[in-house]
Amino acid sequence: MYTLGEFIIENRDKFLYSTEALLRLFSSIKLASKSINKEINKAGLTEEIIGSSGFTNIQGEPQQKLDHFAHRAFIESFKSRNVVCGIASEESKDFIVIKGEKENIFQNKYVVLIDPLDGSSNIDVNIPIGTIFSVYIRKTPIQMELTIEDFLQKGNKQILAGYIIYGSSTILVYTTGNGVHGFTLDPSVGTFYLSHPNLHFPKREKIYSINEGNYARFPEGIRNYIRYCQEKRRPYPYTARYIGSLVGDFHRNMIQGGIYIYPKTVHFPCGKLRLLYECNPIAFLTEQAGGKASDGKKRILDIKPINLHQRTPFICGPVEMVSKLEEFIKNEK
Ligand code: AHG
Ligand code: MN
Ligand code: MN
């Protein structure tokens, strides 16, 4: 059974960039995710990790203690591996600059965008949560100051994206543009082993995932699509599954065959999910798993971001399911 490191080396000719850099990136990601995993497993035993931190993030959402812990774990871990020059995080208003080993020199060329803890409202109730990450090559020349444009790149420029799901087991799933591969953490040795090679949406259309509590606030096309899923779909209706952790909902849908939808609502006129930290990485994985990711009209990966924390409506899943929903949106009166 391959470890993640062995798998990367074995497949090094398929990665267009430096294998050493990729190993260092994963070394940072593994280190931080293992310490988060350890903390999550203690939830309920200590007051230090469950509950609200008392702060809100840039978008006014309450931050959980574990949001902070995960954010700091990733920043420290990336700092220590000397491969990244900047990080933008859902939990931080501005991007964070990381200088290279030589004082004051920005020698590294990779930037990371991260949702350190996804699904944080589920921390206290033992439901899967995750981390979502995404890596780009900076646009400005090495040794120059980073600018916001290094982070506001279209999703189609990602060189690496993935997530860690802290569920019944802890799994790291990633793509570099050569398929989607999943590795399960063996906690007894602290090693990720290849468990899900070449993940792909199955042919079977089975699930729709949407927060139906917002039904009355959805646009007409979305409401019509939900009715189609429940009443009109032949030969059988889809089954509804929604846990409120994008990582968990997506992971299940990719394995079992389903569509994930977070549309605009009356309260979230641009949708709720963040383009840079959530939608782009999941869209890259979706396409690499043979699916389609859209904002209802256009491809997520072609959107030019205009600010770090912008939101977008988000739909991802098997191509036929997403295209069908796009038809409903198009036919909206
Ligand atoms: P985060 O915890 O990073 O803020 O993300 C939560 C997101 C996503 O994981 C999930 O799918 C969605 O919010 C759930 O939102 P609703 O509770 O509005 O359905
Ligand atoms: Mn999130
Ligand atoms: Mn988050």
> Chain centroid to CA 104: how far?
31
CATH of domain 207-330: 3.40.190.80
Q: Which of 112, 117, 106, 102 shows the shortest CA–CA distance to 37?
A: 117
CA dist list (Å): 31 to 74, 78, 164, 246, 270: 8, 9, 12, 22, 34
Identify the nearest ligand to the CA of 122 by its number.
1
Atom of ligand 1 nearest to the CA of 90: 3
Q: In this structure, how many other beta carbons lie within 10 angstroms of the beta carbon of residue 59?
A: 11
Distance (Å, whole) CA 185 – CA 23: 17
Helix (H) / strand (E) containing 174: strand 170-175
**Ligand 1: does its nearest atom lie under 6 Å from the Cβ of 64?**
no
Query: For position 319, what pLDDT does the model report?
Result: 98
Strand order in the sheet with 207-209: 239-240, 207-209, 258-262, 314-318, 291-294
Tell me the CATH architecture of domain 4-196.
Answer: 2-Layer Sandwich (3.30)
Per-residue pLDDT of the chain (333 residues; tens, 9 = 90+): 999 999 999 999 999 899 999 999 999 999 999 999 999 888 777 767 777 777 788 777 778 889 999 999 999 999 999 899 999 999 999 999 998 666 545 578 999 999 999 998 888 898 999 999 999 999 999 888 999 999 999 999 999 999 999 999 999 999 999 999 999 999 999 999 999 999 999 999 999 999 999 999 999 999 999 999 999 898 899 999 999 999 999 999 999 999 999 999 999 999 999 999 999 999 999 999 999 999 999 999 999 999 999 999 999 999 999 999 999 999 998
Query: For position 105, what pLDDT does the model report?
Result: 52
Q: Which DSSP symbol is given to 39?
A: H
Q: Which residue has a Cα nearest atom 3 of ligand 1?
A: 118
Q: Which residue has a Cα nearest atom 16 of ligand 1?
A: 244
**Ligand 1: does its nearest atom lie under 6 Å from the Cβ of 67?**
no
What's this model's pTM, rounded to 2 decimal places?
0.96
| Per-residue buried b or exposed e for 268-285, using 16+ beta carbons within 10 Å of the residue's own CB | eeebbbbbbbbbbbbbbb
Give the mutation target among 64, 134, 245, 252 for probing the ligand 1 site: most ligand atoms within 8 A of CB: 245
Distance (Å, whole) CA 37 – CA 327: 41
Query: For position 42, what pLDDT does the model report?
Result: 83
Burial of residue 186, with CB atoms counted within 10 A of its CB: 0-12 exposed, 13-18 middle, 19 or more buried: middle
> Chain centroid to CA 85: how far?
20
Query: For position 106, what pLDDT does the model report?
Result: 58
Distance (Å, whole) CA 277 – CA 88: 8
| Å from CA of 102 to ligand 3 middle | 32
| Å from CA of 323 to ligand 2 middle | 24
Spell out the domain ranges in the chain.
4-196, 207-330
**Ligand 1: does its nearest atom lie under 6 Å from the Cβ of 272?**
yes
**Ligand 1: does its nearest atom lie under 6 Å from the Cβ of 122?**
no
